[in-house]
Structure 1
Amino acid sequence: MDEIEVEAVDTLDPGVARDTAEYVLYGGKGGVGKTTMAAATALASANDGTATLVVSTDPAHSLSDTLEFDVPSRPARVREDAPLWAVEIDPDDALSQAGMFGQDGGFAGGLDSLLGGAAGDTAEDAAMMPGADEAAAMQLLLEYMDDERFDRVVVDTAPTGHTLRLLELPEVMDSMVGRLMQLRDRLGGMMEGLSGMFGGDDDATEEDQFGDLDAVKERVQRLRAVLTDPTRTDFRVVLVPEEMSVLEAQRLTDRLDEFGVPVGTVVVNRVMEPLADAVDVPDEAFVEPNPEGCEFCSRRWDVQQAALAEAQDLFREYDVKRVPLLADEVRGEQPLRVVAACLD
C-alpha cells in the first residue's frame, strides 16, 4: 500500500504557533475538529506571549470540554501563566444584546407593516437575511475583534451552512440598509417607527433614528474589510480524510473565494498516519493502523488514502496540514500542544 508522506514535526516547544494574522477563523463541516484546531492555535499563540482570545460561535459549545475550562458567554481568562482568554457566544444572549435586530429578529415583517406594504424588495431582502441570532453573534464577534486587550482572535466557527450565512450577512445587510436609507430619504416621517426595531426608544430624535442606520452600515462595511484583508485574516478550512468531507471543503473554499475571504490553510484532521519523528511525544499518543491484520483498518486506510490523494490535488494551491488520529480525545493542554505542532 502506498503511503502519502507526512511532514515531521521538529519541536513541541510551547511557542509552536507563530501566526501573523490578527484573526484566524476555522471553518468546515460539523464534527471535523474545528474546535480542536481553534483551541490548539489559541493556546500555542498565548504560550508564545501573544494576548489571544478564542471565540466559539458553534452552537455545540464544545470549547469548554476541549480546554477543560468552563468557558462563559463573556471573555474570561483561561490561564494565569499565559495570556489566553476564551468565550462561547450564546445565540440567545447575543440576540438580547443586539438591539438593532429586536428581540425576535422580526425585522422584515415589522418593516413591511410599518410602511403599509410599501417596503417592497427591501422587506423581501430582510426576510432573506440570516437568522437574527447568527447576525447578533457576528455583531458580538466584531466587538471582540475590536477589543484592545487581544492581539489575536481565533474563531471556532459554526458548521459550514451557518458560516456561509454569516459571511453572506455583510452583502445582505449592506443591500438592505442601503434600501432603508433610500426609503428614509423618500418617506421621512413614516420611518420614525424604525427606531424600535433598531433598539431605540420612542423619544429618540430623527437624527438618532437615522444615525442607527448609518451605524449598521458602517459595521457591515468594517466587517467586510476585516474578512477580506489577507494581511489581517486567515480562514482555515478543516476536513477529515473522507471523500464527502473533501468535496464539502472544496465547496467552502470556492464560496470563500467568491466572498474574497483569504484561505491560507487546509487542515486534514484524524489522518491514520503517526508522526513518528515528533519529539517528546509518546508513541501511545497516536493510533497507527494495521492494514495487514485488521480488515476494518485496511478498509479505512484505503478510504483515507484515496481522500488524501484527492485533497492533495484539489487543494494544491493551499498550505495543507495533516493532523494525525490520536489515541485519545483531544482535551487539555498536552494533546492540544501536539495538534498545534502539526499546524505549525
Structure 2
Amino acid sequence: MTKFILFSGKGGVGKTSMASSTAVHYAEEGKKTLIVTTDPAANLSDVFEQEIGHRVTKINGLDGLFAMEIDPDKATEEYKERSLAPMRELFDEDLIKVAEEQLSGPCTEEMAAFDKFIDFMDGKEYDIVIFDTAPTGHTIRLLELPVDWSKHIEESAKGSGQTCMGPVALIEDSKKKYDDAIAKLRDTSVTDFVFVMQPEQTSLEETMRSSHDLEELGIKTTKIIVNGLIPEEEAAIPFFKKKYEKQLQTLEKSKEIFKHISLQTMELFDEELKGVEMFKKSASKLFQGSDQNE
C-alpha cells in the first residue's frame, strides 16, 4: 500500500527542505518515492538543482526518486478541458462558451489543483508519495473543497446545472474518487500530515490554529518538525545566546501543547540545504533524531 506524507506550514519555515530530506531518506531505503509540490511558488527545481516542472521527473544521483511541480495554470487548463470534453459533442458553441466562462474563476483553479493532487492518491505506482503543499491556509482551503458535495450540487440545481467545479454530472462522476482521497487523508495508517514550524511564538500559534482547522476536517496531525534550532554549541556566542534561550522556551511550550503528537527537532545547518548530497545529510539528522515527546 502506498504511504502518503503531506508537509505543510507557513512560508519560509523550511517545509520544502524537510519534505525533500524525507523523500531522499525513503529513496535511499530503496522505496520508489515521488515528491510533488502543490505550492504555486514551487522551488523543487532549485533545491534539487535540475529542471522539473509540470511532469514527473527522475531526480539525478538517486535511484527511485522522482519529483513534479504542479503548474496551477496547466492544471486548470487540463481540468477545464476534461470538464468540457463530454459537453462538446452534445451542445452548441454558445452553451460551450457559457460553460467556459463558468469555469474561469478562482474556485475552478483551486479545484483543478486538488484534482491533480489526488491523481497521485489514486495509483499504486509509488511506495511513498510526499506532498510539499502550499502555505497552510491555502492547503486547508484546498482540502475543504470536496468535503460538502451536497452544497455544490444543490446550488447548481437552482441554476444551470453548472458550478465553478464543472458540470454537476462531472462532479457526481468524480465524487467516489474524491471521497476515497478524503478517506485516505483521514486514515493515519495510510497518511501522515506533518507540520513544519520554527521555534518562535508566532510560528507555534499558526501551527496550533492550522492543526485545529485540519482536525475540523477529520484530518489528524501526526508529526511536527521544529526546524531551525540554533545548535547548543553555538549558543556560547553572546549574539546567539538570547535567541537560543527563547527557542528553548518555545520548544518546551510546543512539547506541552502537542504532547500527544510526535515532535521532532532539526538544527540549523551552516550551509544551504540544496542538492541530493545535502539532503542525505539532513535526512540522516532528521531520522536519527529522537521524538521529543517520548
Above 0.5 in TM-score?
yes
C-alpha distance 179-235 of structure 1, shift in aligned 2 (>3 A): same
For residue 179 of structure 1, the aligned residue among 143, 154, 157 is 154
Contact 2:211 2:220 in 1 (8 A): no
Q: Secondary structure at the match of 2:223?
A: strand
Deviation, 1:210, is 5.8
Deviation, 1:195, is 9.8
2:261 and 2:76 map into 1 onto residues whose CA distance is 36
For residue 51 of structure 1, the aligned residue among 13, 21, 32 is 32
Equivalent residue, structure 1, for 2:128: 152
Deviation, 1:32, is 0.4
C-alpha distance 101-35 of structure 1, shift in aligned 2 (>3 A): farther
Contact 2:197 2:207 in 1 (8 A): yes
Equivalent residue, structure 1, for 2:87: none
Contact 1:233 1:262 in 2 (8 A): no
Q: Secondary structure at the match of 1:145?
A: coil
**Runs of 5+ unmatched residues, structure 1:** 1-19, 103-113, 115-122, 199-208, 275-287
Deviations 1:95-139 (A, max 9, x none): 11112677xxxxxxxxxxx8xxxxxxxx9xx9xx97432221111
Moved over 4 A (4+): none
For 1:62, give the aligned amino acid: N
Contact 1:95 1:101 in 2 (8 A): no
Equivalent residue, structure 2, for 1:26: 7
For residue 249 of structure 1, the aligned residue among 196, 204, 207 is 207
For 1:132, give the aligned amino acid: T
For residue 37 of structure 1, the aligned residue among 18, 21, 34 is 18
For 2:252, give the aligned amino acid: A
Equivalent residue, structure 2, for 1:105: none
Contact 1:241 1:268 in 2 (8 A): yes
1:239 and 1:80 map into 2 onto residues whose CA distance is 29
C-alpha distance 196-240 of structure 1, shift in aligned 2 (>3 A): closer
1:177 and 1:152 map into 2 onto residues whose CA distance is 32
For 2:109, give the aligned amino acid: D
Contact 1:160 1:252 in 2 (8 A): yes
For 1:163, give the aligned amino acid: T
Equivalent residue, structure 1, for 2:290: none
**Runs of 5+ unmatched residues, structure 2:** 85-97, 288-294
Q: Secondary structure at the match of 1:289?
A: helix
C-alpha distance 297-257 of structure 1, shift in aligned 2 (>3 A): same
Equivalent residue, structure 2, for 1:320: 263
Equivalent residue, structure 1, for 2:66: 85
1:130 and 1:96 map into 2 onto residues whose CA distance is 13
Deviation, 1:33, is 0.8
Which of these two proteins has the greater Rg computed from alpha carbons?
1
Contact 1:130 1:165 in 2 (8 A): no
Q: Secondary structure at the match of 1:230?
A: coil
For residue 332 of structure 1, the aligned residue among 275, 279, 283 is 275
Equivalent residue, structure 2, for 1:143: 119
Deviation, 1:161, is 1.1
TM-score for both structures, normalised by structure 2: 0.83
Equivalent residue, structure 2, for 1:164: 140
C-alpha distance 261-251 of structure 1, shift in aligned 2 (>3 A): same
**Does residue 1:134 correspond to 2:139, yes or no?**
no
Deviation, 1:303, is 2.0
Q: Secondary structure at the match of 2:120?
A: helix
Deviations 1:188-220 (A, max 9, x none): xx64xx49983xxxxxxxxxx764231132233
Alignment: residue pair count: 271
Deviation, 1:317, is 0.8
Q: Secondary structure at the match of 2:130?
A: strand
For 1:252, give the aligned amino acid: S
Q: Secondary structure at the match of 2:216?
A: helix
C-alpha distance 21-325 of structure 1, shift in aligned 2 (>3 A): farther
1:162 and 1:299 map into 2 onto residues whose CA distance is 34
For residue 232 of structure 1, the aligned residue among 190, 194, 206 is 190
Equivalent residue, structure 2, for 1:281: none
Deviations 1:35-58 (A, max 9, x none): 011111111111111111100111
For 2:234, give the aligned amino acid: P
1:55 and 1:260 map into 2 onto residues whose CA distance is 23
TM-score for both structures, normalised by structure 1: 0.71
1:253 and 1:98 map into 2 onto residues whose CA distance is 29
Equivalent residue, structure 2, for 1:297: 240
Q: CA RMSD in A?
A: 2.9
Deviations 1:49-79 (A, max 9, x none): 1111100111121211222222121111113
